[in-house]
Structure formats: structure tokens, C-alpha cells
């Protein structure tokens, strides 16, 4: 969406025409910018892992431990993301742009409050988080400062998430994409200069080192780039009066009721997103008992899986936005069609990724670490998770539909059941008492994904999302 079309779409005097005609092309138009944005983040994650890999297995293990913890924290931002996306899209579908602006304002304020809280609490408890895993003094010494710096960087990240959700709900997925590309490029350029000392690493004869802060340098580069991106997002929104124009003759005031509504919609979605990595956080305790190689293998595998999230992220956002808009316009047929189209595309992608990861499991692991112990632990994990794509791929658009409708409690309950009373005890029993080792953890994770998909499909068919009021 170019600037002119965006301005027309959010004109106060001209009601928004909801996306009542849902086609594969419409899903593509909304999805590809989100996918590009996600691809840049994924690429940066892999590049960061590549640079950190120059510092040794201990550094990779430390970043892997912190990565899962940060993913849990990022799940908290889903309170704002899902809440804003569902409520703003519903108001857009209703043609009520004043209330859409108010929802966006509340989302940004809530994001800032949550970001500060996460930074303060995270900085304080970082040593306890890292120490929980018992990975050893060498890993702890690297991981604690890295995690603390990363927590501070969450403040502007949360604000960017709130603005991204509002833009996407309005049908503008390109502006968040461009902001994110800028952040990723800056981060990628800063990384080697902050991580390495002069002369430590060179490309084409040019030394990339500067400060030599090691793993901490990577965290600082990410925090600075994220802060710059957040400020740029705010500045552009104020300058261009987007994603919705500010009401000129109406006094703006923050409402506790509006904050509460966003929390009611977003909190279950956040808990659903957190349930999996938080249970994995505890599961890392079991993985760590098998040594540093197992931790490194787990971190490498998870980062390689981020590649398949690239297209899924776009499809999920498109489905959520279209469902929310069309429910606001009371066009249930179009909302249902959006889910059906998303289901077809997502399932086909799942089959493709299954074949890819299963066939090239060893090659993927060897691209990041040549240690035999890391390969032995990581290749089976990649193959088992490849099979899980056949189930998780069709589940994603169903969850997106419920989230876009604001019916976020069913996915939350399902995620809890699959990951806590099922995955945790099953993985522990298979890994230790039954003696399957770290492969027992991988098997437990596969079983939980299959279970979650089956329950989500049953809940979706009940149709409660179709009548959800916001």
C-alpha cells in the first residue's frame, strides 16, 4: 500500500471498505510484506549465530540459553500485538476510524508500560534465569550480561510491535516491513564491529572488528538498532498522521476500560505464545544435563526452524486481519473463506518444509557447528520436528482466525494442556527414567505438537470465534 492509498484508506470522512472479497491474491498482498519483514529478522538471527560461532561453543550455548528466555519475554508483547490487531481490525471493518485511532493509542501506551516493566524485572532476575540451567560457570559468565542488555532493548521493541499491529490491522503491512528492514540492516552492520577486536575477523582483507565486546557486543548492537527503529516508527506515524488520522476536534483521553479490553483479548494470546517456550525453558534444564553440545544443538535447530516461520508469519497476519475486518463488517462468509485459503497455503508449505528439514538435517547442523557431539544431538531433533510440520502448519491459520476474532482463550487453554501436563513430564520420563537421552526430549516435543493440533481443530469447528464481541 503506497502512501496515497493508505491515506485514502484511513480518511475520517470516507468510511473504510472492508476486505469482504477474500481471494488468494488479497492474502498474498497482506502476507508478503510481513514475510519479508520476518525473513530479515530470521536472516539476522542466523547471521548473529554465525558471528557468535567464531567465539566458540560456549558463546553459542550462552546465546542459545538466552534466546529461549528472550522468546518468552517477546511473548509478553503478544498482549499488545494480538489485542491491537483484533480490536483495530474490528473497528476498521465497522468503519469507525476514531475508535481505531483510540485503540492504537492505547496499544502504544500499554506497550511502553510493559516494555519498561520487562526491562527492570528482567535486568534484576537475569542471574537467576541463567543460573537455573546449571550450564556451568563459563556459560553463565557470558550469558548474564548478554541477557541483561537484551532485556533493556525490549522497551522500544514492544512499542514497535504495537504500531506494527495497528498498521497491519488497517491493511498497511508495508510500512512495518520497511521499518523492520532498516532495523535489521543497521543491526547486521553493527554486529561485527561491536563483537570483534580490530583484526580478529576480516572479509576481503578488511578488518570488521572495533570494540571487541564479544557476545555482549551483539546484544548492544541489537538494542541500539531496535531503539532507533522504534523512534523512527513513532516519528513517521506522527509526521504522516498514520495509521489513522488523529481526531482534530475531539479531546483524547486514556480509558481504563479500553486498556482492560485490550488486556482481555491479548493476555490469553500472550499466555498461549509463552506456554511453549516457557515449558521449553524448564525443559532446557533436562537438555543441559546432557552437556554443552546438547544445548548448542538445541539452539542451532531452533534458529534454523525460524526459516519456516517466514511465510507462516505473513499468512497468519493476513488471516487475522481479514477475519477481524470481516467480522466487524458482519461478513461471516468472507471471514470463513479467509481461514480456508490460509489453511490450504499453510498446509502445502508444511509438506515442503517437512521434506526439506528431514532430508538435509545433517547438512543444516554442520553449517553452524562441526562438533560430532552437536551433530549427533541435533540431527535427530531436526528430523522429528520436520514431521511435526505436517501438523503444526494447518493449525496456525486456525489459531490466527480465533486470535483475529478476539476469541483467544481456546488457543491459550490448548497450548497449556499440550505443553505443561503433556510435553514436560513425557519428555522428562523418556529422556531420563526410560533412558532415551536427549532424543526423549525431542520425541516429547513432537507428541505435544500433534496433540495441540488436534485440540485446536476441534475447538475451531465449534465456531465460538464467529460470535465473539469486542
Written as tens digits, the pLDDT of the chain (470 aa) is 333 333 333 333 334 444 456 889 899 999 999 999 888 777 777 677 777 777 877 787 788 778 777 877 888 999 999 999 999 999 999 988 889 999 999 999 999 999 999 999 999 998 988 887 777 788 888 789 989 998 998 888 999 999 999 999 998 999 999 999 998 888 888 888 888 877 767 667 666 767 878 888 888 988 898 899 999 999 988 888 888 888 877 777 788 999 999 999 999 999 998 888 788 778 888 888 888 888 888 888 877 887 888 899 999 999 999 999 999 999 999 999 999 999 999 999 999 999 999 999 999 988 877 888 888 888 999 999 999 999 999 999 999 999 999 999 999 999 999 999 999 999 999 999 999 998 999 999 999 999 999 999 999 999 999 999 98
Predicted pLDDT at 8 = 35
pLDDT at 67: 76
Distance CA 20, CA 132 (A): 50
pLDDT of residue 13: 36
Write out the DSSP string of 48-100.
Answer: HHHHHHTT-HHHHHHHHHHHHHHHHHHHHTHHHHHHHHHHHHHHHHHT-HHHH
Instruction: Read off the C-alpha cell for 452.
Output: 495441540
> Which ranges in 153-173 belong to alpha helices (H)?
154-169
Residue in this structure with the C-alpha cell 567465539, named with its chain if needed: 55
Calculate the alpha carbon distances from 276 to 79, 308, 445 in Å: 16, 17, 10
Query: Which helix (DSSP H) or strand (DSSP E) does residue 108 occupy?
Result: helix 97-132
Provide DSSP, 314-332.
Answer: HHHHHHHHHHHHHHHTT-H
pLDDT for the residue 165? 95
Count of Cβ atoms closer than 10 Å to residue 257 Cβ: 8
Amino acid at each position: 500500500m503506497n502512501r496515497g492509498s493508505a491515506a485514502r484508506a484511513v480518511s475520517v470522512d470516507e468510511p473504510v471498505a472492508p476486505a469482504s472479497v477474500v481471494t488468494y491474491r488479497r492474502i498474498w498482498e497482506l502476507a508478503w510484506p510481513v514475510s519479508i519483514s520476518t525473513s530479515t529478522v530470521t536472516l539476522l538471527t542466523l547471521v548473529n549465530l554465525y558471528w557468535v560461532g567464531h567465539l566458540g561453543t560456549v558463546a553459542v550455548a550462552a546465546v542459545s540459553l538466552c534466546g529461549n528466555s528472550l522468546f518468552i519475554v517477546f511473548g509478553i508483547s503478544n498482549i499488545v500485538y494480538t489485542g491491537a490487531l483484533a480490536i483495530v481490525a474490528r473497528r476498521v471493518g465497522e468503519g469507525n476510524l476514531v475508535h481505531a485511532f483510540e485503540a492504537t493509542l492505547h496499544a502504544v501506551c500499554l506497550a511502553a508500560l510493559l516494555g519498561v516493566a520487562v526491562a527492570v524485572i528482567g535486568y534484576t532476575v537475569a542471574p537467576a534465569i541463567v543460573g537455573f540451567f546449571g550450564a556451568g560457570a563459563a556459560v553463565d559468565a557470558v550469558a548474564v550480561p548478554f541477557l541483561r542488555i537484551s532485556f533493556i532493548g525490549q522497551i522500544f521493541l514492544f512499542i514497535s510491535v504495537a504500531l506494527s499491529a495497528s498498521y497491519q490491522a488497517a491493511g498497511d503491512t508495508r510500512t512495518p516491513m520497511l521499518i523492520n528492514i532498516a532495523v535489521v540492516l543497521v543491526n547486521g552492520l553493527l554486529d561485527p564491529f561491536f563483537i570483534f577486536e580490530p583484526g580478529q575477523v576480516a572479509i576481503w582483507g578488511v578488518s570488521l572488528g572495533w570494540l571487541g565486546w564479544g557476545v555482549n557486543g551483539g546484544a548492544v548492537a541489537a538494542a541500539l538498532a531496535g531503539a532507533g527503529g522504534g523512534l523512527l516508527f513513532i516519528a513517521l506515524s506522527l509526521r504522516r498522521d498514520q495509521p489513522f488520522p488523529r481526531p482534530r476536534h475531539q479531546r483524547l483521553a486514556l480509558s481504563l476500560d479500553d486498556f482492560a479490553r485490550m488486556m482481555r483479548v491479548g493476555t490469553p494470546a500472550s499466555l498461549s505464545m509463552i506456554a511453549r517456550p516457557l515449558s521449553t525453558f524448564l525443559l532446557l534444564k533436562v537438555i543441559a544435563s546432557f552437556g554443552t553440545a546438547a544445548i548448542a544443538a538445541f539452539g542451532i535447530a531452533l534458529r534454523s526452524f525460524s526459516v519456516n516461520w517466514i511465510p507462516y508469519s505473513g499468512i497468519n497476519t493476513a488471516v487475522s486481519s481479514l477475519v477481524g475486518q470481516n467480522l466487524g463488517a458482519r461478513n461471516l462468509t468472507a471471514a470463513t473463506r479467509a481461514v480456508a485459503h490460509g489453511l490450504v497455503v499453510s498446509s502445502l508449505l508444511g509438506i515442503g518444509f517437512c521434506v526439506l528439514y528431514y532430508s538435509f538435517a545433517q547438512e543444516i547442523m554442520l553449517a553452524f557447528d562441526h562438533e560430532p557431539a552437536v551433530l549427533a544431538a541435533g540431527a535427530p531433533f531436526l528430523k522429528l520436528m520436520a514431521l511435526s510440520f505436517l501438523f503444526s502448519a494447518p493449525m496456525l491459520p486456525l489459531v490466527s482466525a480465533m486470535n483475529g476474532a478476539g476469541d483467544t482463550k481456546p488457543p491459550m487453554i490448548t497450548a497449556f494442556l499440550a505443553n505443561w501436563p503433556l510435553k514436560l513430564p513425557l519428555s522428562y520420563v523418556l529422556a531420563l527414567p526410560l533412558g532415551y537421552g536427549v532424543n526423549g526430549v525431542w520425541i516429547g516435543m513432537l507428541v505435544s505438537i500433534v496433540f495441540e493440533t488436534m485440540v485446536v481443530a476441534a475447538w475451531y469447528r465449534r465456531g465460538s470465534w464467529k460470535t465473539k464481541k469486542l
